[in-house]
Structure 1
Amino acid sequence: MTVQKQTAFLNWDDVRVFLELARTGSLSAAARALRISHATVGRRVAALEADLGRTLVERRVDGYTLTAEGEAVFVLADGMDERALAILRRGGHEQGLTGTVRLTATQALADRFLVPRLGPFHARHPGIDLEVTVDNRALSLARREADLAIRLARPEHGDLIARRLATIVYGLFAMPGARDAWIGYDEALADLPEAVWLARHGAGRRVAFRSNSVQAQLAAAKAGFGAALLPVWLAAGEPELVALPMPEPLAREAWLVLHRDMKEVPRVRAVIEHLVALFSAEPALAPLDA
Structure 2
Amino acid sequence: MNWDDLRLVLAIAREGTLSGAARHLRVTHSTVFRRLGTIEEGLGVRLFERFRDGYSATVAGETVAALAARFADDFVALERRLSGQDLRPSGTVRITTTDTISAMLMRHVPALRAAHPEILLEITVSNAMANLTRREADVAIRPTPEPPETLVGRRVANIAHAVYCSPNYLSDHDGDPADLKWIGLDDTLATTVIGRWMRENIRDAQIGLRVDSLPALKDAALAGVGLALLPCYLGDEESRLHRAPPVSGTDVKSALWLLTHSDLKRTARIRAVMDFLVIALASERALLEGRRHKEAAARGRTVGPRKA
- What interval of TM-score do these two structures reach, taking the shorter chain for normalisation? 0.7 to 0.9
Higher mean Cα deviation, 27-36 or 186-195? 186-195
Q: 1:164 aligns with which of 129, 135, 155?
A: 155
Instruction: Extract unaligned runs of 5+ from structure 1.
Output: 1-9
Matches of 1:200 and 1:69, distance apart in 2 = 46
Higher mean Cα deviation, 90-99 or 170-179? 90-99
For residues 31-50 of structure 1, the aligned pairs below 5 Å read 31-50=22-41
- 1:146 deviates by 1.1
Q: 2:60 aligns with which of 46, 50, 69?
A: 69
For residues 21-32 of structure 1, the aligned pairs below 5 Å read 21-32=12-23
Partner of 1:269: 271
Matches of 2:42 and 2:153, distance apart in 1 = 41
Cα deviations by residue, 1:76-119 (Å, 9 ceiling, x for unpaired): 22121122223333443437222111111110101x21112222
Partner of 2:248: 247
Are 1:13 and 2:15 counterparts? no
Q: What secondary structure does 1:39 align onto?
A: helix
Matches of 1:187 and 1:165, distance apart in 2 = 28
Partner of 2:262: 260
Matched residue type, 1:170 = H
Contact in 2 for aligned 1:166/1:253 (Cα 8 Å): yes
State the percentage of identical aligned residues.
Answer: 39
Partner of 1:224: 224
- 1:150 deviates by 2.1
Matches of 1:203 and 1:72, distance apart in 2 = 47
Contact in 1 for aligned 2:161/2:252 (Cα 8 Å): yes
Higher mean Cα deviation, 14-23 or 138-147? 138-147
Q: 2:101 aligns with which of 109, 116, 133?
A: 109
Contact in 2 for aligned 1:18/1:44 (Cα 8 Å): no
Cα deviations by residue, 1:9-28 (Å, 9 ceiling, x for unpaired): x3321211111111122112
Contact in 1 for aligned 2:9/2:64 (Cα 8 Å): no
TM-score normalised per structure 2: 0.80
Contact in 2 for aligned 1:15/1:48 (Cα 8 Å): no
Matches of 2:204 and 2:126, distance apart in 1 = 32
- What is the root-mean-square deviation of aligned Cα atoms in Å? 2.3
Partner of 1:7: none
Contact in 2 for aligned 1:279/1:285 (Cα 8 Å): no
Partner of 1:128: 119
Are 1:213 and 2:213 counterparts? yes
Q: How many residues align?
A: 275
Matches of 2:59 and 2:224, distance apart in 1 = 57
Matches of 1:40 and 1:107, distance apart in 2 = 29
Contact in 1 for aligned 2:184/2:195 (Cα 8 Å): yes
Partner of 1:99: 91
Matches of 2:51 and 2:280, distance apart in 1 = 47
For residues 155-194 of structure 1, the aligned pairs below 5 Å read 155-156=147-148, 159-179=150-170, 180-194=180-194
